[in-house]
Chain A
Amino acid sequence: MNFKTRLVLVIIIVFFMFILHNSFWLWHLDSRIPLLFNFMPFAYSYYVGYAILAVLAMKLIISLAWPDPPEDLFDEPEPLKRQNS
């Protein structure tokens, strides 16, 4: 799979997470879903689940489109490098 295709998949993941956050059609469940652990209402527990999903989504994005730089990338002499050190 080339990088552009993987980037498209990443965009789909982001869009999916955005939809899940703006899921207004689920709001009516706030009064219907039982409390999680007997104290967490759906409006709250939904985002506990969302946080776990966010970690999984980031894991997927890392494996899809976050390569490490080649080892020699920063070794080459670079005339444009700022005199920082």
Chain B
Amino acid sequence: MTNTIGIGLLLSYLFILIAIGVYGARVSMKTREDYFLAGRGLGSMAVFMALFASNITAFTIIGHAGFSYEVGYGAYGYVIGWSIFITPFTYYLVGYRSWLLGKKYGYATQPQVFGGIFNSKLISLLFLILLLYYTLPYLVVSIIGGSLAFTTVTEGLVPYWVSAMALIGISLVYTLPAGFRGTVLTDIFQGTLFLVVAALLLAAVARALGGFSEITADLLKSNPAMLERSLSDDLSPVNWFSYSFVNSIAVVVFPQIYTRILAARCSTNLKQVSLYYPIALALIFGVSTLLGVWGSVAFPGLEGKDADNIVPLLIHHFLTPTWMVLGLVVVLAIVKSSIDSQLLSVAHLVTDDLLPYFKKIESHQAVFWGRLFLLLFAAVAYYIALIRPAAILSIAGFAFSGFSVMLPVMIGALYWSRTTAQGACAALILPAIMLHLWYLDILPQWTTFGFMPVFPSFILAIITLVVVSCLTPAPSPDQKEKTFGLFGRVFQ
């Protein structure tokens, strides 16, 4: 009986996703802008859910809970503390000005916005190459992480290769026909489902362990280091400081996030998103932290990869079989919501910014090519996820840092009219090279002065941008006017 209800729930979930795909395809117009940007007509809640769901990955509920299991409550501030403020702030800092340019000039991606600001094909190409270079490994790692989590939750009943195929296949069910609109509609549906199940899981774990206060009292007696940041080796102040430059400021550079900002209908939508965001981030990572820390009371002694399985373990032990299926659906939903947006943004970048170098395409043809690339990248990502090459995994290890060090160029281009194309080129290339030298252990560790490599690379990007821009001829008045004339009319 329970199995029947569970299978019924799973089938209902799949049916809703297919229905969303069919509905999205029916209401979509067959134009490039509609397929990739939902016609730039998203309201506040749609932009918020789209951004948030793309931002939340398997790491949020699996990796972060595992980290909290090991280091305690301090994991909350370390991983998400600075993001709570700076991520929505970057939606203002970079997002709003980019949105203005996108709305005015029809830009739809970073290569178009920044290539347009500098009137430079080289800048456009550099953005394209770097974004694809960091996004593709990140996409593959998301698929690997999600598939492993799904296989763990099902206790191996669903093998890894089937999990990976299911994750990609289900994402394509609605993304292929409905494009961006399909991913946004599923984000809204899955986000709501997630909140309900996460609250239930938290309540079930708390009840089983004797209540909120009881768990903390247990921890105080058995492992007080879980409550004090200064007692954790993993949370040294220098790491804490460096980590401020890793994931939090990288988010707005992710192409799947940046594109969603450009899809907002009006500036009010973006303002509202930046107000919802801190609470939503604090809430979801707060739940994940509690699950991890409480898991250390329920299942003590797990280490490394085993600690990362804490949420699947809790789902197994503390939810009834029916809710367990919903728990599975939620894991699937979270992982999938970032995979679908990454796949779509990669297909978008190639269709809009690479294909035109080889073939002139009309707007309605762009939808066809977009779908073709979507299928192609899905197949390639699946293949790579199966063979798991070390080189790809190693790039993914510092993809976040790679995105972060692109931010100074984006800010410079949007705020400093003296920024030149040469300065931007140098500030994109040099820090990327340094990151590789540090992360691939070609340069000795002491050269980072104890910081994570992302911090000196970030500083290097700023210095390079300023110095090279000052040493090269200033942009032409026409070029400045195109961007800063527009901003001058808004920011008075």
List, in ascending order, chain B residues with CB within 8 A of A73's CB: 100, 104, 486, 489-490
Q: CB distance A37 to B228 under 8 Å?
A: no
List, in ascending order, chain B residues with CB within 8 A of A55's CB: 275, 278-279
Q: CB distance A67 to B229 under 8 Å?
A: no
Partner of A21 from B82, B112, B228, B268 at Cβ < 8 Å: B82
List, in ascending order, chain A residues with CB within 8 A of B363's CB: 83-85
Partner of B85 from A21, A24, A27, A44 at Cβ < 8 Å: A21
Q: Which 10 A-B pairs have the closest CB atoms?
A: A51-B282, A82-B106, A54-B278, A39-B212, A54-B85, A30-B228, A41-B227, A43-B73, A44-B73, A38-B213
Q: CB distance B72 to A69 under 8 Å?
A: no
Q: CB distance B241 to A22 under 8 Å?
A: yes
State whether A31 and B224 are in contact (beta carbons under 8 Å apart), knowing that A18-B244, A54-B84 are contacts in the complex: yes
Tell me the minimal C-beta distance from B487 to chain A in angstroms: 10
15 additional contacts, CB 8 Å, given A30-B227, A57-B89, A62-B275? A22-B240, A24-B240, A30-B228, A31-B227, A41-B227, A46-B77, A47-B81, A54-B84, A66-B267, A68-B266, A68-B268, A69-B490, A81-B105, A84-B31, A85-B31
Q: List 15 A-B contacts (CB under 8 A).
A: A14-B86, A17-B86, A22-B241, A30-B74, A44-B286, A50-B85, A51-B282, A52-B278, A62-B92, A65-B92, A66-B96, A68-B266, A69-B103, A73-B490, A82-B105
- Is B418 in contact with chain A by the CB < 8 A criterion? no
Q: CA of A30 to CA of B231 in the docked complex: distance in angstroms?
A: 10
Q: CB distance B271 to A62 under 8 Å?
A: yes
Task: List residues of A (10-63) whose CB comes within 8 Å of B's CBs.
Answer: 14, 17-18, 21-22, 24, 27-28, 30-31, 35, 37-41, 43-44, 46-48, 50-55, 57-59, 61-62
List, in ascending order, chain B residues with CB within 8 A of A44's CB: 73, 76, 286, 289
List, in ascending order, chain B residues with CB within 8 A of A41's CB: 73, 216, 227-228
List, in ascending order, chain B residues with CB within 8 A of A82's CB: 105-108, 112
Partner of B84 from A35, A47, A59, A69 at Cβ < 8 Å: A47
| Majority-rule SS of A interface residues | helix
Q: CA of A55 to CA of B107 in the docked complex: distance in angstroms?
A: 30
Q: CA of A51 to CA of B80 in the docked complex: distance in angstroms?
A: 10
Closest to A72 in B: B489
List, in ascending order, chain B residues with CB within 8 A of A39's CB: 212-213, 215-216
List, in ascending order, chain B residues with CB within 8 A of A37's CB: 212
Find the residue from A53, A69, A80 having the highest chain B CB count within 10 A.
A69
Q: CA of A30 to CA of B77 in the docked complex: distance in angstroms?
A: 13
Q: CA of A2 to CA of B486 in the docked complex: distance in angstroms?
A: 17
Q: CA of A28 to CA of B281 in the docked complex: distance in angstroms?
A: 26
Q: How large is the interface on A (under 10, 10 to 19, 20 to 34, 35 or more residues)?
A: 35 or more
Q: CA of A66 to CA of B216 in the docked complex: distance in angstroms?
A: 42
Task: List residues of B (134-153) whose CB comes within 8 Å of A's CBs.
Answer: none
Q: CB distance B103 to A43 under 8 Å?
A: no
Q: CB distance A48 to B282 under 8 Å?
A: yes
Tell me the minimal C-beta distance from B290 to chain A in angstroms: 8
List, in ascending order, chain A residues with CB within 8 A of B103's CB: 69, 74
List, in ascending order, chain B residues with CB within 8 A of A17's CB: 85-86
Q: CB distance A66 to B92 under 8 Å?
A: yes
Closest to A74 in B: B103
List, in ascending order, chain A residues with CB within 8 A of B76's CB: 43-44, 47
Find the residue from A38, A55, A78 having the highest chain B CB count within 10 A.
A55
Q: CA of A78 to CA of B166 in the docked complex: distance in angstroms?
A: 45
Closest to B294 in A: A39
- Is B230 in contact with chain A by the CB < 8 A criterion? yes
List, in ascending order, chain B residues with CB within 8 A of A85's CB: 31-34, 363
Tell me the minimal C-beta distance from A78 to chain B in angstroms: 6
Partner of A70 from B84, B116, B282, B489 at Cβ < 8 Å: B489
State whether A84 and B490 are in contact (beta carbons under 8 Å apart), knowing that A31-B224, A38-B213, A50-B85 are contacts in the complex: no
Task: List residues of B (67-110) whose CB comes within 8 Å of A's CBs.
Answer: 72-74, 76-77, 80-82, 84-86, 88-89, 92, 96, 100, 103-108
List, in ascending order, chain A residues with CB within 8 A of B72's CB: 43
Tell me the minimal C-beta distance from A63 to chain B in angstroms: 10
- Is B491 in contact with chain A by the CB < 8 A criterion? yes
List, in ascending order, chain A residues with CB within 8 A of B73's CB: 41, 43-44
State whether A59 and B275 are in contact (beta carbons under 8 Å apart), knowing that A28-B230, A54-B84, A85-B363 are contacts in the complex: yes
- Is B482 in contact with chain A by the CB < 8 A criterion? yes
Partner of B106 from A18, A40, A59, A81 at Cβ < 8 Å: A81
Closest to B87 in A: A54
List, in ascending order, chain B residues with CB within 8 A of A53's CB: 85
Q: CB distance A74 to B88 under 8 Å?
A: no
Q: CA of A73 to CA of B492 in the docked complex: distance in angstroms?
A: 14
Task: List residues of B (15-63) whose CB comes within 8 Å of A's CBs.
Answer: 31-34
Partner of A78 from B104, B212, B216, B491 at Cβ < 8 Å: B104
- Is B274 in contact with chain A by the CB < 8 A criterion? yes
List, in ascending order, chain A residues with CB within 8 A of B159's CB: none
Q: CB distance A30 to B229 under 8 Å?
A: yes
Partner of A50 from B84, B108, B486 at Cβ < 8 Å: B84
Q: CB distance A43 to B74 under 8 Å?
A: yes
Tell me the minimal C-beta distance from A8 to chain B in angstroms: 13
State whether A30 and B230 are in contact (beta carbons under 8 Å apart), knowing that A70-B489, A80-B482 are contacts in the complex: yes
